Amino acid sequence: MTLPTRKMGPFEVSAVSLGCMNLNHAYGGFPPEEEAVRLLNRALDLGVTMLDTAALYGDGENERLVGRAVMHRRSEFTLASKCVLGLFDGKRGLDGRPEAIAATLEGALRRLGTDHIDLYYLHRLDPKVPIEDSVGALVRAREAGKIGAIGISEMSAATLRRASAVHPIAAIQNEYSPAVRNVEIGVLDACRDLGTAMVAFSPVVRGLLAGAIRSADYAKGDIRGVMPRFVEPQLSENLKLVDAFDRIADEAGLAPAQLALGWVLAQDENVIALPGTTNIAHLEEDVATLAKLVPRDALDAVTALFPFNAMRGPRYAAFAQAQVDTEVLPGEELAA
Protein backbone atom coordinates (compact mmCIF):
# COMPACT_ATOMS: atom_id res chain seq x y z
CA MET A 1 0.00 0.00 0.00
CA THR A 2 1.07 3.58 -0.63
CA LEU A 3 0.26 6.17 2.03
CA PRO A 4 0.44 9.97 1.80
CA THR A 5 3.96 11.10 2.60
CA ARG A 6 5.70 14.12 4.04
CA LYS A 7 9.22 15.38 3.59
CA MET A 8 11.81 14.73 6.29
CA GLY A 9 15.23 15.96 5.22
CA PRO A 10 16.27 13.80 2.25
CA PHE A 11 13.43 11.34 2.87
CA GLU A 12 9.74 11.07 2.08
CA VAL A 13 8.02 9.12 4.86
CA SER A 14 4.44 8.14 5.57
CA ALA A 15 2.57 10.98 7.25
CA VAL A 16 1.62 8.52 9.99
CA SER A 17 4.70 6.51 10.91
CA LEU A 18 5.39 4.17 13.83
CA GLY A 19 7.16 4.64 17.13
CA CYS A 20 8.43 1.26 18.34
CA MET A 21 9.01 2.17 22.01
CA ASN A 22 5.76 0.68 23.34
CA LEU A 23 6.77 -2.83 22.30
CA ASN A 24 9.18 -3.25 25.22
CA HIS A 25 9.61 0.03 27.06
CA ALA A 26 7.80 2.62 29.18
CA TYR A 27 4.19 1.46 29.48
CA GLY A 28 4.37 -2.13 30.72
CA GLY A 29 2.22 -5.02 29.53
CA PHE A 30 4.55 -5.74 26.63
CA PRO A 31 3.46 -8.24 23.96
CA PRO A 32 5.34 -11.49 23.33
CA GLU A 33 8.07 -11.07 20.74
CA GLU A 34 6.16 -12.97 18.05
CA GLU A 35 3.29 -10.49 18.37
CA ALA A 36 5.66 -7.53 18.24
CA VAL A 37 7.26 -8.97 15.11
CA ARG A 38 3.85 -9.37 13.49
CA LEU A 39 2.95 -5.78 14.34
CA LEU A 40 6.13 -4.34 12.84
CA ASN A 41 5.67 -6.32 9.65
CA ARG A 42 1.99 -5.37 9.48
CA ALA A 43 3.01 -1.71 9.67
CA LEU A 44 5.19 -2.16 6.60
CA ASP A 45 2.40 -4.07 4.84
CA LEU A 46 0.08 -1.10 5.49
CA GLY A 47 2.55 1.32 3.88
CA VAL A 48 4.19 2.79 6.97
CA THR A 49 7.64 3.88 5.81
CA MET A 50 9.39 5.08 8.98
CA LEU A 51 10.14 3.05 12.09
CA ASP A 52 11.50 4.89 15.12
CA THR A 53 13.52 3.33 17.94
CA ALA A 54 16.25 4.41 20.40
CA ALA A 55 19.14 3.07 22.43
CA LEU A 56 17.20 3.86 25.62
CA TYR A 57 14.17 1.71 24.82
CA GLY A 58 14.52 -1.55 26.70
CA ASP A 59 18.20 -0.69 27.20
CA GLY A 60 18.90 -1.59 23.57
CA GLU A 61 16.38 -4.43 23.29
CA ASN A 62 14.02 -2.35 21.16
CA GLU A 63 16.75 -1.87 18.56
CA ARG A 64 17.47 -5.61 18.69
CA LEU A 65 13.77 -6.34 18.18
CA VAL A 66 13.59 -4.10 15.12
CA GLY A 67 16.74 -5.78 13.81
CA ARG A 68 15.29 -9.26 14.21
CA ALA A 69 11.80 -8.37 12.99
CA VAL A 70 12.13 -6.30 9.84
CA MET A 71 15.70 -5.83 8.75
CA HIS A 72 15.06 -8.34 5.97
CA ARG A 73 12.72 -5.65 4.56
CA ARG A 74 15.29 -2.87 4.95
CA SER A 75 14.54 -1.25 1.59
CA GLU A 76 10.91 -0.62 2.58
CA PHE A 77 11.39 1.86 5.41
CA THR A 78 13.38 4.76 6.79
CA LEU A 79 15.12 3.68 9.99
CA ALA A 80 15.41 6.19 12.85
CA SER A 81 17.14 5.76 16.20
CA LYS A 82 18.57 7.94 18.97
CA CYS A 83 21.54 8.45 21.27
CA VAL A 84 22.61 10.53 24.33
CA LEU A 85 19.75 9.41 26.62
CA GLY A 86 20.35 5.95 28.00
CA LEU A 87 21.01 3.73 30.97
CA PHE A 88 24.45 4.20 32.48
CA ASP A 89 25.41 1.82 35.29
CA GLY A 90 21.72 0.97 35.54
CA LYS A 91 20.57 4.58 35.88
CA ARG A 92 18.88 6.75 33.28
CA GLY A 93 21.13 9.62 32.29
CA LEU A 94 22.56 11.82 29.57
CA ASP A 95 25.90 11.65 27.80
CA GLY A 96 26.26 13.96 24.83
CA ARG A 97 30.03 13.81 24.59
CA PRO A 98 31.21 13.02 21.05
CA GLU A 99 33.01 9.86 22.17
CA ALA A 100 29.88 8.62 23.94
CA ILE A 101 27.73 9.33 20.89
CA ALA A 102 30.17 7.41 18.69
CA ALA A 103 30.09 4.44 21.06
CA THR A 104 26.29 4.42 21.27
CA LEU A 105 26.04 4.54 17.49
CA GLU A 106 28.37 1.57 17.10
CA GLY A 107 26.24 -0.37 19.57
CA ALA A 108 23.07 0.60 17.74
CA LEU A 109 24.43 -0.61 14.42
CA ARG A 110 25.28 -3.97 15.99
CA ARG A 111 21.91 -4.29 17.70
CA LEU A 112 20.00 -3.37 14.55
CA GLY A 113 22.12 -5.62 12.36
CA THR A 114 22.96 -2.91 9.84
CA ASP A 115 25.79 -0.62 8.83
CA HIS A 116 23.63 2.46 8.28
CA ILE A 117 20.85 4.29 10.18
CA ASP A 118 18.89 6.69 8.01
CA LEU A 119 18.06 9.29 10.69
CA TYR A 120 19.96 9.50 13.97
CA TYR A 121 18.69 11.78 16.71
CA LEU A 122 20.24 13.36 19.75
CA HIS A 123 17.51 12.04 22.07
CA ARG A 124 18.00 14.83 24.60
CA LEU A 125 20.23 17.85 25.14
CA ASP A 126 23.06 17.12 27.52
CA PRO A 127 23.44 20.47 29.32
CA LYS A 128 27.07 19.67 30.12
CA VAL A 129 28.01 19.47 26.44
CA PRO A 130 27.56 22.26 23.87
CA ILE A 131 24.97 21.23 21.29
CA GLU A 132 27.51 22.12 18.63
CA ASP A 133 29.86 19.41 19.90
CA SER A 134 27.14 16.76 19.96
CA VAL A 135 25.93 17.66 16.47
CA GLY A 136 29.54 17.64 15.30
CA ALA A 137 29.82 13.98 16.34
CA LEU A 138 26.84 13.16 14.13
CA VAL A 139 28.31 15.15 11.25
CA ARG A 140 31.38 12.93 11.43
CA ALA A 141 29.19 9.82 11.55
CA ARG A 142 27.36 11.02 8.47
CA GLU A 143 30.63 11.68 6.66
CA ALA A 144 31.67 8.12 7.53
CA GLY A 145 28.46 6.79 5.97
CA LYS A 146 27.08 5.41 9.24
CA ILE A 147 24.03 7.69 9.28
CA GLY A 148 22.10 9.49 6.58
CA ALA A 149 20.61 12.51 8.34
CA ILE A 150 20.69 14.24 11.71
CA GLY A 151 17.83 14.85 14.11
CA ILE A 152 17.28 16.23 17.60
CA SER A 153 14.59 15.40 20.15
CA GLU A 154 12.87 17.14 23.10
CA MET A 155 14.65 20.40 22.33
CA SER A 156 13.66 24.03 21.99
CA ALA A 157 13.51 26.33 18.99
CA ALA A 158 16.66 28.11 20.19
CA THR A 159 18.57 24.83 20.38
CA LEU A 160 17.26 23.78 16.97
CA ARG A 161 18.62 26.98 15.49
CA ARG A 162 22.02 26.47 17.14
CA ALA A 163 22.16 22.88 15.91
CA SER A 164 21.17 23.91 12.40
CA ALA A 165 24.06 26.38 12.29
CA VAL A 166 26.39 23.37 12.48
CA HIS A 167 24.53 21.11 10.03
CA PRO A 168 21.02 20.93 8.54
CA ILE A 169 18.67 19.18 10.95
CA ALA A 170 16.29 16.86 9.10
CA ALA A 171 13.84 16.44 11.97
CA ILE A 172 13.07 17.50 15.49
CA GLN A 173 10.99 15.05 17.50
CA ASN A 174 8.88 16.63 20.23
CA GLU A 175 5.60 15.80 21.90
CA TYR A 176 2.66 17.30 20.02
CA SER A 177 -1.05 16.60 20.27
CA PRO A 178 -4.30 18.53 20.72
CA ALA A 179 -3.60 18.55 24.46
CA VAL A 180 0.18 19.18 24.39
CA ARG A 181 0.95 22.23 22.28
CA ASN A 182 4.33 23.42 23.58
CA VAL A 183 5.88 23.31 20.10
CA GLU A 184 3.59 26.15 19.07
CA ILE A 185 5.68 28.51 21.23
CA GLY A 186 8.54 28.48 18.75
CA VAL A 187 9.51 25.06 17.39
CA LEU A 188 6.97 25.00 14.56
CA ASP A 189 8.07 28.44 13.38
CA ALA A 190 11.72 27.37 13.51
CA CYS A 191 10.89 24.24 11.53
CA ARG A 192 9.27 26.33 8.81
CA ASP A 193 12.26 28.66 8.69
CA LEU A 194 14.83 25.87 8.55
CA GLY A 195 13.03 23.25 6.48
CA THR A 196 13.05 20.82 9.40
CA ALA A 197 10.32 18.22 9.84
CA MET A 198 8.45 18.17 13.17
CA VAL A 199 7.97 14.55 14.19
CA ALA A 200 5.12 14.49 16.72
CA PHE A 201 5.51 11.80 19.36
CA SER A 202 2.63 10.89 21.68
CA PRO A 203 0.07 12.40 19.28
CA VAL A 204 -2.72 10.58 21.16
CA VAL A 205 -1.35 11.72 24.56
CA ARG A 206 0.05 8.38 25.70
CA GLY A 207 -3.32 6.73 25.06
CA LEU A 208 -5.45 9.39 26.74
CA LEU A 209 -7.03 10.47 23.44
CA ALA A 210 -7.34 6.91 22.19
CA GLY A 211 -9.74 5.53 24.76
CA ALA A 212 -6.97 3.69 26.60
CA ILE A 213 -7.08 5.41 30.00
CA ARG A 214 -10.06 5.73 32.33
CA SER A 215 -8.24 5.37 35.66
CA ALA A 216 -4.72 5.44 37.09
CA ASP A 217 -4.62 1.64 37.30
CA TYR A 218 -1.38 1.20 35.35
CA ALA A 219 0.81 -1.85 34.91
CA LYS A 220 3.92 -2.14 37.05
CA GLY A 221 6.66 0.07 35.66
CA ASP A 222 4.31 2.18 33.53
CA ILE A 223 5.84 5.67 33.38
CA ARG A 224 2.39 7.28 33.36
CA GLY A 225 2.17 6.37 37.03
CA VAL A 226 4.62 9.17 37.84
CA MET A 227 3.42 11.70 35.25
CA PRO A 228 1.30 14.41 36.90
CA ARG A 229 -1.39 14.54 34.21
CA PHE A 230 -2.03 10.80 34.44
CA VAL A 231 -2.54 10.45 38.20
CA GLU A 232 -5.08 11.77 40.67
CA PRO A 233 -6.35 14.30 41.40
CA GLN A 234 -5.36 15.68 37.98
CA LEU A 235 -6.50 12.66 35.95
CA SER A 236 -10.19 12.95 36.85
CA GLU A 237 -10.21 16.57 35.73
CA ASN A 238 -8.39 15.73 32.50
CA LEU A 239 -10.82 12.91 31.74
CA LYS A 240 -13.61 15.52 31.58
CA LEU A 241 -11.77 17.03 28.62
CA VAL A 242 -11.32 13.57 27.14
CA ASP A 243 -15.06 12.94 27.36
CA ALA A 244 -15.73 16.14 25.44
CA PHE A 245 -13.07 15.19 22.88
CA ASP A 246 -14.65 11.77 22.42
CA ARG A 247 -18.01 13.39 21.70
CA ILE A 248 -16.42 15.53 18.96
CA ALA A 249 -14.86 12.41 17.43
CA ASP A 250 -18.15 10.52 17.54
CA GLU A 251 -20.02 13.37 15.85
CA ALA A 252 -17.34 13.44 13.13
CA GLY A 253 -17.60 9.68 12.55
CA LEU A 254 -14.02 9.10 13.70
CA ALA A 255 -12.32 7.03 16.33
CA PRO A 256 -10.80 9.31 19.00
CA ALA A 257 -7.25 8.38 17.94
CA GLN A 258 -8.08 9.29 14.36
CA LEU A 259 -9.34 12.71 15.38
CA ALA A 260 -6.16 13.31 17.41
CA LEU A 261 -3.91 12.23 14.55
CA GLY A 262 -5.92 14.20 12.01
CA TRP A 263 -5.68 17.31 14.17
CA VAL A 264 -1.90 16.99 14.49
CA LEU A 265 -1.42 16.51 10.75
CA ALA A 266 -3.68 19.47 9.97
CA GLN A 267 -1.56 21.91 11.95
CA ASP A 268 1.36 22.14 9.52
CA GLU A 269 2.60 20.34 6.42
CA ASN A 270 5.97 19.87 8.18
CA VAL A 271 4.39 17.64 10.85
CA ILE A 272 4.68 13.84 10.80
CA ALA A 273 2.61 11.89 13.33
CA LEU A 274 4.41 9.15 15.27
CA PRO A 275 1.97 7.08 17.30
CA GLY A 276 3.01 3.86 18.97
CA THR A 277 0.95 0.80 19.81
CA THR A 278 1.19 -2.85 20.80
CA ASN A 279 -2.10 -3.73 19.07
CA ILE A 280 -2.46 -4.44 15.34
CA ALA A 281 -6.10 -3.31 15.28
CA HIS A 282 -5.05 0.04 16.78
CA LEU A 283 -2.21 0.28 14.25
CA GLU A 284 -4.66 -0.25 11.41
CA GLU A 285 -7.01 2.35 12.89
CA ASP A 286 -4.17 4.88 13.13
CA VAL A 287 -3.04 4.34 9.55
CA ALA A 288 -6.64 4.53 8.30
CA THR A 289 -6.69 8.15 9.48
CA LEU A 290 -4.89 9.05 6.25
CA ALA A 291 -7.94 7.93 4.25
CA LYS A 292 -10.39 9.88 6.40
CA LEU A 293 -11.75 13.36 5.92
CA VAL A 294 -11.55 15.18 9.24
CA PRO A 295 -14.21 17.92 9.17
CA ARG A 296 -12.98 21.48 9.64
CA ASP A 297 -15.54 22.13 12.35
CA ALA A 298 -14.25 19.13 14.31
CA LEU A 299 -10.66 20.41 14.07
CA ASP A 300 -11.78 23.84 15.26
CA ALA A 301 -13.75 22.33 18.13
CA VAL A 302 -10.69 20.37 19.27
CA THR A 303 -8.50 23.46 19.16
CA ALA A 304 -11.03 25.35 21.25
CA LEU A 305 -11.33 22.46 23.72
CA PHE A 306 -7.59 22.42 24.43
CA PRO A 307 -6.24 25.94 24.84
CA PHE A 308 -2.78 26.20 26.35
CA ASN A 309 -2.77 24.67 29.84
CA ALA A 310 -6.19 23.09 29.51
CA MET A 311 -4.67 19.93 30.95
CA ARG A 312 -4.26 19.81 34.71
CA GLY A 313 -0.72 19.14 35.89
CA PRO A 314 2.65 19.68 34.21
CA ARG A 315 3.76 17.47 31.34
CA TYR A 316 6.53 15.78 33.29
CA ALA A 317 7.48 15.23 36.90
CA ALA A 318 10.35 17.47 38.01
CA PHE A 319 13.08 14.83 37.60
CA ALA A 320 12.05 14.14 33.99
CA GLN A 321 11.52 17.80 33.13
CA ALA A 322 15.14 18.40 34.11
CA GLN A 323 16.22 16.19 31.21
CA VAL A 324 14.37 18.09 28.47
CA ASP A 325 15.06 21.38 26.75
CA THR A 326 11.60 21.99 25.33
CA GLU A 327 9.72 25.20 25.98
CA VAL A 328 7.35 25.30 28.94
CA LEU A 329 4.01 27.00 28.44
CA PRO A 330 3.33 30.08 30.58
CA GLY A 331 1.98 28.84 33.89
CA GLU A 332 2.52 25.16 33.04
CA GLU A 333 5.05 24.66 35.79
CA LEU A 334 2.48 26.01 38.24
CA ALA A 335 -0.48 24.00 36.95
CA ALA A 336 -2.14 22.03 39.71
Nearest partner of 108 among 126, 82, 78, judged by Cα: 82
Residue 186 reports pLDDT greater than 90:
yes
CA distance 242 to 171: 30
State mean pLDDT over 299-311.
Answer: 95
Structural domain includes residue 250: yes
Helix (H, G, I), strand (E, B) or coil at 202: coil
State mean pLDDT over 217-239.
Answer: 95
Q: In this predicted model, what pLDDT tens digit does every residue of 14-30 receive, in sequence order? A: 999 999 999 999 998 89
The DSSP-derived string for 259-324 is HHHHHHHHH-TTEEEE-B-S-HHHHHHHHHGGGS---HHHHHHHHHHS-TT-SSS-SS-HHHHTT-
* Tally of domains in the chain: 1
Q: For strand 11-14 and strand 5-8, is the pairing parallel, antiparallel, or unpaired?
A: antiparallel
Structural domain includes residue 329: yes
Residue 239 reports pLDDT greater than 60:
yes
| Contact assessment for residue 180 and residue 205, using Cβ atoms and an 8 Å cutoff | yes
Structural domain includes residue 3: no
Structural domain includes residue 223: yes
Residue 334 reports pLDDT greater than 70:
no
Strand partners, 91: 88
Active-site residues: which are they?
Answer: 57
Structural domain includes residue 227: yes
State mean pLDDT over 97-111.
Answer: 98
CATH number, domain with residue 59? 3.20.20.100
| Contact assessment for residue 183 and residue 176, using Cβ atoms and an 8 Å cutoff | yes
Residue 255 reports pLDDT greater than 50:
yes
Residue 35 reports pLDDT greater than 70:
yes
Residue 229 reports pLDDT greater than 90:
yes
Residue 7 has phi, psi (to 5 degrees) of -80, 135
Beta strands across the sheet bearing 117-122: 18-19, 50-52, 78-83, 117-122, 147-153, 171-175, 197-201, 271-274
Structural domain includes residue 2: no
State mean pLDDT over 51-69.
Answer: 97
pLDDT of residue 318: 86
Residue 315 reports pLDDT greater than 80:
yes
Residue 72 reports pLDDT greater than 70:
yes
Task: Pick the range with the lowest mean pLDDT from 124-138, 145-159, 309-323.
Answer: 309-323
Supply the range of the domain harboring residue 218: 11-334
Residue 273 has phi, psi (to 5 degrees) of -90, 135
Residue 214 reports pLDDT greater than 50:
yes
Structural domain includes residue 6: no
What phi-psi label fits residue 207: left (phi over 0), alpha (psi between -120 and 50 degrees) or beta? Answer: left
Mean pLDDT, the chain, rounded, equals: 96
Task: Mark 10-43 as b/e (b = at least 16 C-beta within 10 Å).
Answer: ebebbbbbbbbbbbbbbbeebbeeeebbebbbeb
Residue 336 reports pLDDT greater than 50:
no
pLDDT of residue 44: 98
The DSSP-derived string for 141-166 is HHHTTSEEEEEEES--HHHHHHHHHH
The reply to whether omega before 203 is within 30° of 0 (cis) is no
Residue 175 has phi, psi (to 5 degrees) of -70, 135
Q: In this prediction, what percent of the chain has a pLDDT beyond 70?
A: 99
Structural domain includes residue 330: yes
pLDDT band at 91 (very low <50, low <70, confident <90, very high): confident
- pTM, two decimal places: 0.96
